Amino acid sequence: MSRKIIGREKRYVEVDVRFEPDGHLRPLAIRFGPEQVYQIDKIKDVSRRAAEVGGVGDRYVCVIRGQETNLWMEKGRWFVEAKLVAEA
């Protein structure tokens, strides 16, 4: 069976963060659970944006394993736009 992306949802996640001397946050890893930890290789951009899944916050464009993904900080909480998949 194949899987098809049918949408996205806001999913709050645990994030390992380093506080820089200038006060900026530097996300280091995204944790979906004890077995799902994704190290962030690079932060390409940080800007205030509206998320397609709802909400407004600081969007961190991250590179993880060569793929770009958005990580959001909104009101002191981190979230991602998680894929909703269905069996096709």
DSSP for 6-66? EEEEEEE-EEEEEE-TTS-EEEEEEEEETTEEEE--EEEEEEEEE-TTS-EEEEEEEEETT
Q: How far apart are CA 58 and CA 75, in angstroms?
A: 9
Q: Give the Cβ contact number of residue 9 at 10 Å.
A: 12
Q: Whole-prediction pTM value?
A: 0.87
pLDDT digits (tens, 9 = 90+) for 3-30: 888 888 999 999 999 999 999 999 999 9
Token pair belonging to 65: 């394993």
State the average pLDDT over residues 41-67.
95
